[in-house]
Amino acid sequence: MPIYPKIALELGIVAALLLLERLRPASAVQRGEWANNIVVLSLMLLGRIVLSPLIAVSESGLMSAAGGGLIDLGAWPPVLGAATYLAAMDLGEYAFHRAQHAFPWLWSMHSLHHSDRGMNVSTSQRHFWLDPAMKSVSVWLAVGLLFKADGTILTVYFLASLYHLFTHTNVAIGFGPLSWLWNSPQYHRLHHSRDPAHFNANFAALLPIYDVIFGGYRRPAAGEYPDTGLDDEAVRSPLELAVWPVRGRGGRAPASNP
Ligand SMILES: [Zn+2]
Ligand SMILES: [Zn+2]
């Protein structure tokens, strides 16, 4: 999918979700850190440009285009091929996310994502600038080596992955007894909760079944929309966003990681 339609689609979705946040907010009290999140997004885009040679040789799509990938999903029935690729990529995302909470040096970067005290649609873009490159040389590379995906499958996954905009939206929407089936703003809000009772739960990106299988599933109670953020991680200056892991307060014991 060309870059400009991708950007236009993302901006259109963000506009719709902003409207939803006004109509049905999960938390009317908390204010999101929009300015900080735009700085973080800019740093990520800059990091992507600087690190593009590294990313280019390892991203799953390019691996497939170059003939990489042990199993050719393009030869499978389209729905089965796309579903398999989505499940594999989501498992990769899941493994990386669990590692981000398990290893202090990874948490020192991922804590930036969790430090937003008013989770909203812009929080979806709040990741330390090195995060995408690390995924490119680990989980995305692993999936790219295992599966060869055609353009249709990659487009389907790209569209599905835009769902993370919705899961970070400050909106009172959950799936109740079906929470194990597909992620929702309420399910992911518990992962960002400031309440220690919610720590180490709901790591899934798209498929909460991985939380059920690997032990992290916590079904939200009716009307449960906790405050988000970290007690000790307030951002004091934009510079901190660029050097987040080494700004002196990044490390926390894994047991206390939300
Ligand atoms: Zn997390
Ligand atoms: Zn998140």
DSSP of 121-170: GGGGG---TTHHHHHHTTHHHHHHHHEE--HHHHHHHHHHHTHHHHHTS-
Q: Which of 8-12, 117-121, 213-217, 253-257 has the highest mean pLDDT?
A: 213-217
Q: Which of 101, 83, 95 is nearest to 140 (CA)?
A: 95
Q: Worst-scoring range by mean pLDDT, 6-15, 57-66, 118-127, 240-249? A: 57-66
Q: Is 258 a residue whose pLDDT tops 60?
A: no
Q: Mean pLDDT across the stretch 172-187? A: 97
**Res 23 pLDDT > 80:** yes
How close is the Cα of 146 to the center of ligand 2, in Å? 27
Is it the case that residue 59 has pLDDT exceeding 80? Answer: no
The answer to whether residue 255 scores a pLDDT higher than 60 is no
Q: How far is the CA of 84 from the centre of ligand 2 (A)?
A: 23
DSSP conformation class of 181: T
How many Å lie between the centroid of ligand 2 and the Cα of residue 255? 19
pLDDT > 90 in the chain, percent: 63
Give the number of the ligand closest to the Cα of residue 202: 1
Smallest-distance ligand from the CA of 116: 2
Give 128-140 pLDDT, tens digit per residue: 999 988 998 899 8
How far, in Å, from the CA of 190 to the mean position of ligand 2?
10
Å from CA of 175 to ligand 2 middle: 17
The token pair at 172 is 């009172």
Ligand 2 centroid, distance to 168 Cα (angstroms) = 6
- Res 178: pLDDT: 97
* 97 CA from centroid of ligand 1 (Å): 6
Q: How far is the CA of 79 from the centre of ligand 2 (A)?
A: 28
Give the CA radius of gyration of the chain: 18
Centre a 10 Å sphere on the Cβ of residue 227 and count the other Cβ atoms it contains. Answer: 15
Chain segment 96-117, per-residue pLDDT in tens? 999 999 999 999 999 999 999 9
pTM: predicted TM-score of the whole model, two decimal places: 0.89
Closest CA to 62 of 156, 152, 154, 160: 154
pLDDT one-digit tens code per residue, 37-58: 888 888 888 887 888 776 665 5
Cα 68 to middle of ligand 1, angstroms: 30
Please tell me the distance between residue 215's alpha carbon and the centre of ligand 1 in angstroms. 15
Average pLDDT over the chain, rounded to whole? 88
**What are the residue ranges spanned by the domains of the chain?**
3-256
Residue 4 has a pLDDT of 83
